[in-house]
Amino acid sequence: MQDIRLRTGAGILLSLTAFTSLAGAAAVLAWWLVFTSGIGLLRNNHLVLSSLAVIGGFGIILQVTGGDGPGYVFRMMIVILVGAWLLAEQKRGEFLHLGTWLLGPRSGFELGMIAEMALQNLNGLMSDFERIRIAERFKGVRSGHKAFIAAGRVLVHNTLLRAEDTAELLAIRGYTCGGTFVPEFPRRRMDFIACLFAICAAIIGTLPVSAFFILS
């Protein structure tokens, strides 16, 4: 989807649908396979894969304690896949357009800029983490608590440096609050079709399981 308004709305709706019921999660998975790049979104995406591993661990604990572990894992897995799609589709500056459109040139501009800086920091963290992994492979460093602590220190240090640089840049330019910005939203026909089917998936998620079967 090119229009961030439709994409964000569809993402929120799909996430809630997947989290609410197994039928909704199955419908959202079908939507995800049809309207996104599918498995291509997961290639070399260590953040998504590690998140799935963590969810799997929680699912095992939930199953051992008497809960519905498989159902929880499936629903959360679909939520993560929707999040991966949103992150992959995100383009620089879109949150600024969305925030200004929603709340105007003052509060909206502020929130949009904060979201853009947060996304920039996230991309920086992912790049730093990948460089750390490459350096560890070259040096033959084994994974362990010492390696994790050292990597965490580097990630926090680099994040603080980026935040300091951003604050200095805003101060030098005399930024105080808000700004003049004209939001633009490119879109195509497929965006509306995908949103329509996202609504259909949400409706399916609200139906009882018996609605899909003929019970005698």
Sequence-distant (≥ 6) Cβ neighbours of residue 139 within 8 angstroms: none
Q: How confident is the model at residue 158 (pLDDT cuts 50, 70, 90)?
A: confident
Tell me the pTM: 0.76
Spatial distance between the Cα atoms of 207 and 58, rounded to a whole number of angstroms: 27
Q: How confident is the model at residue 216 (pLDDT cuts 50, 70, 90)?
A: very low
Spatial distance between the Cα atoms of 73 and 59, rounded to a whole number of angstroms: 5
Closest Cα to residue 82, out of 201, 187, 204, 196?
Answer: 201
Name all contacts of 124-132 with Cβ < 8 Å and 24+ positions apart: 124/158, 124/159, 124/162, 125/155, 125/158, 125/159, 126/46, 126/47, 128/154, 128/155, 128/158, 129/46, 129/155, 130/46
Spatial distance between the Cα atoms of 136 and 47, rounded to a whole number of angstroms: 18
| pLDDT of 173 | 78
Least-confidence region, from 22-26, 72-76, 92-96:
92-96
Residue 48 in this model has a pLDDT that exceeds 60: yes
Q: How confident is the model at residue 81 (pLDDT cuts 50, 70, 90)?
A: very high
| pLDDT of 213 | 55
Closest Cα to residue 166, out of 120, 125, 98, 209?
Answer: 120
Closest Cα to residue 95, out of 200, 15, 4?
Answer: 4
Least-confidence region, from 23-32, 125-134, 150-159, 174-183:
174-183
In whole numbers, what is the pLDDT of the chain averaged over residues? Answer: 85
Q: What is the pLDDT of residues 111-150, one digit of tens each?
A: 888 888 888 888 888 888 888 888 878 877 777 677 778 7
